Amino acid sequence: MNPAKLNRRILLQKKSNGTEDDSGYPTDPTDAWDDVMSLYASREPLRGREFFTAAAANAELTLRYKIRYRDGITPDMRFIDLNNGRICNITAVLDDPYGDRTETHLMVLEEHMNG
């Protein structure tokens, strides 16, 4: 893996378990996310079958990000692309596609930006 191609900074997040307000009552954790770590990544274009599968599912905002190999990333996480501020929900984690523990591919669906 060429580290020079990892030219995007992403902030990995996981769903928060919630917190308590000042009165001690639990808050609604539906929109709460906790930061996990910051990573370098590259955004890769979809090619061939991946492109046509995404187009057939009307997922025009499906992207692939490549990072250095890392355990513990799950499809219920998301990240913020710090280069453009867009939020991407992880839909699939393709761990170690070459079998040499060098890279992990994240298939993501970019959230729609309103406004």
In this prediction, residue 115 carries a pLDDT of: 45
Write out pLDDT tens, residues 16-63.
Answer: 876 777 777 777 666 788 999 999 999 987 766 655 565 555 555 788
Distance separating alpha carbons of residues 80 and 40, to the nearest angstrom? 12
- pLDDT greater than 60 at residue 15: yes
pLDDT band at 101 (very low <50, low <70, confident <90, very high): confident
Distance separating alpha carbons of residues 84 and 96, to the nearest angstrom? 27
Write out pLDDT tens, residues 56-92.
Answer: 555 557 888 999 999 899 999 999 999 999 999 999 9
Helix or strand holding residue 108 (H, E): strand 103-110
Global pTM value: 0.75
